Structures are given as structure tokens and as C-alpha cells.
Amino acid sequence: MGAHGPAKGLMRWVTTTNHKDIGTMYLWFSFAMFILGGAFAMIIRAELFQPGLQIVEPEFFNQMTTMHGLVMVFGAIMPSFVGLANWMIPMMIGAPDMALPRMNNLSFWILPPTFALLASTLFMEGGAPNFGWTFYAPLSTTYAPDTVTFFIFGVHLMGASSIMGSINIIATVVNMRAPGMTYMKMPMFVWTWLITAFLLVAVMPVLAGAVTMMLMDVHFGTSFFSAAGGGDPVLFQHIFWFFGHPEVYIIILPAFGVVSQIIPTFSRKPLFGYDSMVYATASIAFLSFIVWAHHMYTVGMPIAGELFFMYATMLIAVPTGVKVFNWITTMWKGAMTFETPMLFCIGFVFLFTVGGFTGVMLSLAPADFQYHDSYFVVAHFHYVMVAGAVFSMSAAVYYWLPKWCGKMYDETMGKAHFWISFIGFNLTFFPQHFLGLAGMPRRIPDYALQFTDFNTMSSIGAFIYGASQILFLFNVIRTIVAGKPTSEEKTWDGAEGLEWTVPTPAPYHTFTTPPDVK
């Protein structure tokens, strides 16, 4: 390569328009952010291991809760699924690349400087933002540290990246499907991402509007969210949650797509009820826009408003239940095997269902007055986000890694990762339900003595779960560097003579599970 070899190699990655390279960069970046966000969580759980203030100041604790949420949601989970989309969607629909490859490159390269900027606020005067990942005004405007301006700029950049990525996915799926691949023949992962991309294009400008109004309040003397100047702090909550509730479905819908690919493979059966899965996904997306104020039962809205949002929120459980039913029915009487991706998917279905049940509890307005801002909400949210997004992402990496690098991961290590994760996760978040029901508020660095035992369990579980991710990283790197090569051979799915390729050492890893073909 000569003297300029390393520089040439770096420039290849910086300027690449290859969807696989960009997908790989997204995945590695998101994992780095996952480790960073996890480090913030470890600080939180270390402080909460026992009552009293041991390790960090309350102000720094608040900064950790903000940074943990922001980095995990916008830096780890969302980019990981965008990376998965970049890698898999063109191959699944028979396209040579994404529709807009240069914009694809730009949408990735916006992210590293954005999160470097966000992380650098930790070292600035006044410290990192301390107002929580939901950044409610007026705490984030009138009383915010000076670093709020960098935070606002960072959110704008993240939003721009998301919108570009989404437009790219929509353009690719609509215009670049192989001849004969109608919409109702697309793999479920493609369907869930197409719907997710429309959601992102719809709600990211709303978030941009919210942070722009914050910027005006902080620097230009406006009073959008200041009651003293005739504004309304509750307006911020309406705008934020009109973005924020579809956002949690943006995070979980691609996870549904992943699980809908993997469960049929290891059940040796086509996905049960393909059409109903597509309609359920679309229904969830539509309903996600009309439930936002269930985060706001305690702001004093009229009883009619509470009832509307309560019933709409309960209604969203129906299409979600359809999905869970279809996954279980796909497994029913299938020739199931329990390799690592399948274990993560079964763990996903079980834990996500627990999160769904607690979500129904929180949807009830009178009950929510008790649960609101308690650790019960933290437990619910993490059962949906971590068990939902992170477990399915782990499944996806194990499932497609042999396809990506041509080498097979260590199955025993993968199963160990699953079981340590599963035990650590439940030990962390299940006791938090009890803490919340007993009255422990969230986002506090200290707590009353009666909460000690469950907090200690929770912190031990968090460190076990964190350790399991290091095992995951080791397994992935070991696979890429020294994994057993997979030689490709042909296999058949037994129904309709559909052909697709699998690596021989693991005859269960498919390139993509075909939908139930009519």
C-alpha cells in the first residue's frame, strides 16, 4: 500500500458510499455509544447501591441520568437499527445499494462529531445538561446550565441525520425492489423499517421545533415555555411527547422486524399471519400519534382528555398483542431449535410482554397518578427498551454476523451471553417495579432506608448485565479475527421451492426468511 496506506484505508471508510461499509460503521458506532451510555448507567447504579451519598454529587448524578438517556436512545439504539437497515434492506429487496448513497454517508458522519460534542459538555464550565433526557422546560430553559446550547445544537444534528437516513430508506424500498417483489412479498424487517422511516420523517421536525423554541427562550428573550412571560411549561410537554411517543415505536418497530425474521427460521416454519403482521405494524404507527398525553395525566388536563388518551393507549395493546400471538403461533408445533439468535428472540417476546402488561397498568389514568415519576415507570420503560431493542439487536448480530463476515461465532459463548444478560437484566429491573409501587421516585441520588434491599439487588444485576456485554464484544471480535469460515451451500425451505443460502457450519442462519408467499 505504500507510505499512504493507512491514510488511504481511512479515506475509503470516510468517503465510502457502499451500504455494507456504512452499515458496519453505524453498528460499531452504536456499540461504542452503548458502552458509553452503559458506563453512565453504572455510575448511577453504583451510587444507588446503598442509601446516602457515596460516589458522586447530586448535580453530577443528574448529569449522568441525562447523558445515559440521550446516549442510549439517540446514540446506541437508533443508529444500531439504521446500521442493520443499511446492511440488510438492499440485500433483502434485491437492490444493488441504497437509493441515495452519498446522503447515506453524510447521515452517518454527522453522528460521531455530534456525540463528541454532547460528551464534551461533561468537561465544560457548568457541566453537562442536568435536566433529564426529556429536558422539560422551564428546567431546561430558565434554570439550565450554559451547555444547554450545545445540547440543542446536538439534537438538531441528530434529527438531521435521522431524517436523511429515513428518506434514504423510503426511496430505496419504494423505488429499488427487485422485479416481482410486491409490497406484500417484502420481508417483515423491510416492512417495519419502511413504516419506521415514515414515522421518523413525521416526528423529527417536531423535536426540532421544541429545541428551537428552547433556544429562543434561552437566548432571545421569548417566553414559549415561561409562565412569567405569558408562555406555558405544559406546552413543552405536549410538543415533546408528540415526538417522544412515536419515538419509542421508532425504536421498537425495527426490533419487531428482526424477531419476525428470526423466529420463523428457527421454528422451520413460515411466519404465521404475514398480512396481519403488516397491518398491525401500520396500526401501531398510526395509533402512536394519538396517545402522547398519557405521559401527562398529572398536568391537570380535563377528564375528557384523560379518558381519550387512556382508551387510545389501551387500544394500542391490540395490534401489539396480535404480533405476540403471531410469533408464538409461528413457534407452535414448529421444529424448533434454540441457537443464540432464537434464545434472544424468545427472551425478547417474554420480556417485552411483561413490559406491555406494565404499560397497560400505566395507561390507566387513575392508577398512573400513583405510578407517575416512580421507579415503576423506569422498570416499564427498560423492559420495553432494553429487553425490546437491545435483546433483538443482539439476536440480529448473532443471526447475520456469519453473513456479514463469512465466519461463525462461538455458539457456547453466545448462549452464555444470553443467559448472563437475561439473569442480569431481570435482577436489575424487576425489583424496580416493587420500588416504584412502594413509592420510590426516579432520578434521585439518595433514598429512604426501606428501599435498600431492592436497590442493592438492582445494582448487582446492572453490573452482571454490563459484564455480559463485554463477553458479547469479545465474541464478535473473536469471530471477525479468528472465527471458523462459513462455506456457502444451497438449501431449501421445503415450501414452494424457495431457495436461499446458508453457511454450512450453522445450517440455520438464513440470508433472509421469505415471507409466507401466496
pLDDT (tens digit per residue) in 149-190: 999 999 999 999 999 999 999 999 999 999 999 999 999 999
Residue 488: which of 406, 409, 426, 411 has the closest Cα? 406
Residue with cell 421516585: 441
Is 292 among the domain residues?
Answer: yes
pLDDT at 515 over 80: no
Please list the alpha-helical segments (H only) found in 220-273: 233-267
Cα torsion through 504, 507, 513, 518, rounded to 10: 110
pLDDT at position 486, please?
84
Q: What percent of the chain has pLDDT over 90?
A: 90
Provide the pLDDT for residue 4: 67
* Mean of pLDDT values over 70-86: 97
Give the residue numbers annotated as catalytic, written as ranges. 68, 97, 133, 161-162, 245, 247, 249, 260, 294-295, 320, 323, 442
Question: From CA 192, how far away is CA 281, in angstroms rounded?
Answer: 7
Please state, rounded to an integer, the average pLDDT across all residues of the chain: 92
Q: Are 443 and 65 contacting, i.e. CB atoms less than 8 angstroms apart?
A: yes
Mean pLDDT of 453-473: 97
Q: How many CB atoms sit inside 10 A of residue 283's CB?
A: 17
Angle at which helices 411-437 and 375-384 pack, to 10 degrees?
Answer: 150
Q: Which helix (H) or strand (E) holds 408?
A: strand 407-408
Domain span at residue 369? Answer: 28-500
Q: 378 with 434: CB under 8 angstroms?
A: no
- 300 domain residue, yes or no: yes
Reported as a pLDDT band with limits 50, 70 and 90, residue 11 is confident
Evaluate whether 108 touches 29 at the Cβ level (below 8 Å). yes
Amino acid occupying residue 419: W
Q: Which amino acid is at 9?
A: G
Q: How far apart are CA 36 and CA 131, in angstroms?
A: 19
Tens of pLDDT, residue by residue over 262-273, are: 999 999 999 999
Angle at CA 502, nearest 5°, toward 331 and 335?
25
- Is residue 421 in some structural domain? yes
Closest CA to 112 of 39, 17, 13: 13
Q: Is residue 23 part of a domain?
A: no
> Looking at the 3D structure of the chain, how many domains does it have?
1
Find the CATH number of the domain harbouring 490.
1.20.210.10
Dihedral sign from CA coordinates of 109, 110, 112, 116: positive
Residue range 369-375: mean pLDDT, rounded: 96
Distances (CA, A) of 503 to 92, 405, 408, 412: 17, 11, 8, 18
Q: What is the mean pLDDT of residues 405-414?
A: 95
- Please check whether residue 17 lies inside any domain of the structure: no
Assigned domain for 6 exists: no
**What amino acid occupies position 485?**
P
Query: Is 514 within a domain?
Result: no
Write down the pLDDT at residue 275.
97
| β-bridge partners, 490 | 501
DSSP 266-328: HHTSPPTTHHHHHHHHHHHHHHGGG-GGGG-GGG---HHHHHHHHHHHHHTHHHHHHHHHHHH
pLDDT at 495 over 90: no
| Residue 2 resides in a domain | no
428 is written with which cell numbers? Answer: 436489575
Residue type, 307: L
**Is the pLDDT confidence value at 499 over 80?**
no
How does residue 12 score in pLDDT terms, banded at 50, 70 and 90?
A: confident
How far is 338 from 44, CA to CA, in rounded Å? Answer: 35
Maximum Cα interatomic distance, the chain, rounded to a whole number of Å: 73
* pLDDT of residue 86 exceeding 60: yes
The residues near 476 (Cβ < 8 Å, ≥ 6 apart) are: 397, 401, 409
pLDDT band per the 50, 70, 90 thresholds, residue 9: confident
Query: Which bin fits 221, alpha (ψ -120 to 50), beta or left (φ > 0)?
Result: left
More confident call, 488 vs 49 = 49
Quick check: 1 pLDDT over 60?
no
